[in-house]
Amino acid sequence: MRSAQSEVVRARWVLPIAEPPVEDGFVEIDNGRIVSVGPWTERGTLDRTVTNLGDAVLMPGLVNAHTHLELSWMAGRVPPKSAMDEWIRELMTVRRIGHEGGPEAISKAAVDAAIAMVESGTVLVGDISNTLITPGLIAASGLRGVVFHELIGFAATDPERIVREAGHRLEEHRTLPLELGVVAHAPYSVSADLIGAIARAPRTTPLAIHLGESAEEMEFIATGQGPIRRTLEHLGVWNDAWPVPGCDPAEYVDRLGYLQPGTLVVHGVHFGPAAIGRLKDRGAVLVSCPRSNRWVGSGAPPLAAYYRAGVPVAFGTDSLASAPTLNLFDELAEARRIAPEVPASLLVDSATRRGAVALGLGAEYGTIEPGKRAALIAVRLRGPSGRFGETDVPASAETSVEEYLVSGNVRAPQDVRLIRPR
Ligand SMILES: [Zn+2]
């Protein structure tokens, strides 16, 4: 099982995720894989290189299950709004005008953002891409995960051909160490026929869709009216043949076959018990991005209700157009703020194991268990003075180490380190 090159990493806390936190724990790594994990006192007679991280938490790298790296150049260009349709109109204007530095500047911003993600402890990403400029730069940054090639088209004709062509565009990226799939943007920007065609197409990744994000979307799917209807008309893509669903967006895309086991439902801000129950029944996953929801003026997701209903929850940051950072620890702090009743251990579980499973990569990532990849991070614990190594925090496992991680204490890049096996 282990070679002479295996190494041992020791830390004040080890978070296997699959088991409760271990105080003064160790992880043995060999050839990039986890061999064993447990309390330091049970390390046996390991005659291995030992790295002692001291006052740190050793844990699986984080999973950012929803971002749009290709929009990174928009950081700070689309200010927060009080209603989502205003925010989207401004985003579309900024995108149409483009970056004064051209495609190079857009790529550079995406590269910088991917590097910042790695430096804040993210190892897996679910990245949404319309343009497909991101797969190569994601792979080069060291991130792994899924690139979702997202289609938009409310007036689309010949949906089967559109899906086929999107699949062909992915071919040139197949040599990268990433998973690739075709998905729909949202129920108000993609025609019913195209959503159905995407749902039916063969794939190796989960489906994803922005759903239940705003009050305007709820109104549009229920009645065919409101600000979204006016925007579609203004853009010249309103389709009179579009059958008004007359229900909530979850029921609508379910009718189209899109709510499948593992479908990533991104946002779900405006869903009540019926839609949440439908997600649970279909085996869908909620990907929550609460800072983005606040930024675009769509409100706060009912996170606790999803956890109570047993819907798997993962977290994403969304793009730098609607979030100040791509640091998932910052997202967890917002989740903690809006859902104080959800145990910190569940929030951390969502940001690691649940996220990895959501991206279809749970067999390799998300927990510290023998056989999995050693895609681990160390988070330094900061004492009340703000200095490292003040050993009075955290005091006990449940109330402290996980609570510490979700309470806005973790600053990146200074507090986070990637564990790179030798
Ligand atoms: Zn998004």
Q: From the CA of 321, how far away is ligand 1's center (Å)?
A: 10
pTM assigned to the model: 0.95
User: In this predicted model, which residue has the larger pLDDT, 398 or 225?
Assistant: 225
Q: From the CA of 371, how far away is ligand 1's center (Å)?
A: 33
Q: From the CA of 128, how far away is ligand 1's center (Å)?
A: 7
**Range of lowest pLDDT (131-135, 182-186, 341-345, 397-401):** 397-401
- The pLDDT, as a whole number, for residue 123 is 97
For 199, residues 6+ apart whose C-beta sits below 8 A from its C-beta are 207, 256, 257, 258, 260
pLDDT, mean of residues 331-354: 97
Q: From the CA of 292, how far away is ligand 1's center (Å)?
A: 9
- The pLDDT, as a whole number, for residue 100 is 86
pLDDT higher than 60, residue 388:
no
pLDDT, mean of residues 313-318: 98
- The pLDDT, as a whole number, for residue 224 is 97
pLDDT, mean of residues 201-213: 97
Residues in the chain, overall count: 422
pLDDT, mean of residues 391-402: 58
Give pLDDT tens digits for 41-83: 988 766 678 899 999 999 999 999 999 999 999 898 888 888 8
Domains and CATH numbers, the chain: 7-60+366-419 (2.30.40.10), 62-358 (3.20.20.140)
Residue 210 forms beta bridges with which residues? 266
Q: From the CA of 129, how far away is ligand 1's center (Å)?
A: 10
Q: From the CA of 127, how far away is ligand 1's center (Å)?
A: 9
pLDDT higher than 70, residue 23:
yes
Sequence letter at residue 208: A
- The pLDDT, as a whole number, for residue 398 is 42
For 164, residues 6+ apart whose C-beta sits below 8 A from its C-beta are 201
Confidence of residue 2 (pLDDT cuts 50, 70, 90): low
Q: From the CA of 157, how far away is ligand 1's center (Å)?
A: 24
Q: From the CA of 208, how far away is ligand 1's center (Å)?
A: 10
pLDDT higher than 60, residue 397:
no
- The pLDDT, as a whole number, for residue 1 is 52
- The pLDDT, as a whole number, for residue 177 is 97
Q: From the CA of 318, how far away is ligand 1's center (Å)?
A: 5
**Contact predicate 332/340, CB 8 Å:** no
Average pLDDT, the chain: 92
Confidence of residue 394 (pLDDT cuts 50, 70, 90): low
Give pLDDT tens digits for 106-138: 999 999 999 999 999 999 999 999 999 999 999
Phi first, then psi, for residue 264 (nearest 5°) are -85, 110
pLDDT higher than 70, residue 390:
no
Q: From the CA of 223, how far away is ligand 1's center (Å)?
A: 24
Q: From the CA of 131, how far away is ligand 1's center (Å)?
A: 14
- The pLDDT, as a whole number, for residue 291 is 97
pLDDT higher than 70, residue 4:
no
Cα dihedral across residues 120, 121, 123, 127: positive or negative? negative
Beta-strand ranges (E) seen in 106-195 are 122-129, 144-151, 179-184
pLDDT higher than 70, residue 392:
no
For 322, residues 6+ apart whose C-beta sits below 8 A from its C-beta are 78, 87, 291, 292, 295, 296
Q: From the CA of 205, how far away is ligand 1's center (Å)?
A: 17
**Contact predicate 46/8, CB 8 Å:** yes
Q: From the CA of 42, how far away is ligand 1's center (Å)?
A: 45
For 258, residues 6+ apart whose C-beta sits below 8 A from its C-beta are 184, 195, 196, 198, 199, 207, 209
Confidence of residue 399 (pLDDT cuts 50, 70, 90): low
pLDDT higher than 60, residue 8:
yes
- The pLDDT, as a whole number, for residue 294 is 94
Q: From the CA of 119, how far away is ligand 1's center (Å)?
A: 22
- The pLDDT, as a whole number, for residue 43 is 82
Structure tokens at 368: 């510290």
- The pLDDT, as a whole number, for residue 93 is 86
Give pLDDT tens digits for 209-242: 999 999 999 999 999 999 999 999 998 999 888 9
Angle, nearest 10°, between helix axes 134-141 and 102-119? 30
HSE of 44, CA atoms in CB hemisphere, 13 A: 9
Phi first, then psi, for residue 329 (nearest 5°) are -65, -35
Task: Measure the CA–CA gap between 133 and 169, rounded to whole angstroms.
Answer: 11
Q: From the CA of 34, how far away is ligand 1's center (Å)?
A: 33
Q: From the CA of 189, how far away is ligand 1's center (Å)?
A: 13
How many CB atoms within 10 Å of residue 80? Answer: 11
Q: From the CA of 293, how far away is ligand 1's center (Å)?
A: 10
Task: Measure the CA–CA gap between 150 and 166, rounded to whole angstroms.
Answer: 9
Burial (CB count <10 Å: 0-12, 13-18, 19+), residue 360: middle
Q: From the CA of 75, how far away is ligand 1's center (Å)?
A: 14
User: In this predicted model, which residue has the larger pLDDT, 39 or 382?
Assistant: 39
- The pLDDT, as a whole number, for residue 230 is 94
Confidence of residue 393 (pLDDT cuts 50, 70, 90): low
